[in-house]
């Protein structure tokens, strides 16, 4: 009898222990917090990619070079030799020095700028050789003159009456016209003018005097 009771008590203790183990295991399920796992997709990185920023300077407008037609809205081009027509105004007829306006007319399709002193000299013969010194530049260089199509600028030119010089010091020679270089140009122009020039480089004074370009026909 005593053995049967001891056996029953042992079985009861075993069942209680099993129940406790099961309860502990059950309490652990559902209460454990798992660490979140980082999810990486293809093409993504753990930190957001920074978008590069570039500060670009505003585009500058194209400036027009000499000879351009200024359609780009930049600076007006310098007047080239091919943009101009040359003429000689009436002026006056003084006994010592005659003054006449050397006129430049813009014959191009757009505006151009002319500024400074033209190069002026007498020429003679079929070869157009220069006679005597080129015109002396008198006064200050003037401001730029903008010529629209058909507009005129002029440079006053003084023509000394070379017959007032001694022939030995003048070495007078017939000339057939003027060779003219527009300001800042290397291509020349020609205008007919029947006069007498001094071939000598040693004359007192200047047989030709030119002043800076001015607006208008003179």
Instruction: For the chain, give the DSSP string.
Output: -HHHHHHHHHHHHHHHHHHHHHHHHHHHTTTPPPPPPPP--TT--SSPPPPP---PPPPPPPPPPTTS--TTSSSPPBPPGGGEEEEE------SSEEEEEEEEEE-SSS-EEE-SPPEEEEEETTTTEEESPPPEE-S-----EEE-TT-EEEEEEEEE-GGGS-HHHH-EEEEEEEEEE-TT-SS-EEEEEEEEEE--S--SS-SEEE---EES--
Averages of pLDDT over runs of 10 residues in the chain (218 residues) are 49 46 42 37 36 36 39 77 97 85 98 98 96 97 98 97 93 97 97 96 93 97
Q: Return the pLDDT at 173.
A: 96
Q: Return the pLDDT at 91.
A: 86
Q: Return the pLDDT at 9.
A: 54
pTM of the model: 0.66
């Amino acid at each position: 009898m005593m053995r049967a009771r001891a056996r029953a008590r042992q079985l009861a203790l075993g069942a209680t222990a099993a129940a406790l183990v099961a309860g502990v295991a059950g309490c652990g399920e559902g209460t454990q917090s798992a660490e979140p796992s980082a999810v990486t997709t293809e093409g993504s990185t753990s930190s957001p990619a920074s978008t590069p920023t570039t500060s670009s300077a505003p585009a500058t407008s194209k400036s027009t070079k000499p000879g351009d037609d200024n359609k780009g809205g930049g600076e007006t081009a310098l007047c080239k030799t091919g943009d101009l027509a040359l003429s000689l105004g009436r002026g006056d007829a003084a006994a010592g020095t005659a003054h006449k306006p050397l006129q430049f007319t813009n014959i191009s399709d757009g505006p151009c700028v002319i500024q400074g002193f033209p190069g002026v000299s007498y020429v003679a013969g079929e070869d157009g050789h220069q006679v005597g010194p080129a015109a002396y530049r008198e006064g200050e260089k003037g401001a730029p003159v903008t010529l629209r199509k058909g507009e005129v600028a002029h440079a006053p030119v003084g023509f000394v009456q070379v017959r007032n010089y001694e022939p030995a010091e003048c070495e007078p020679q017939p000339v057939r016209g003027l060779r003219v270089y527009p300001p800042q140009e290397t291509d020349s122009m020609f205008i007919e003018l029947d006069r007498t020039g001094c071939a000598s480089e040693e004359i007192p004074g200047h047989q030709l005097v030119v002043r800076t370009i001015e607006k208008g026909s003179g």
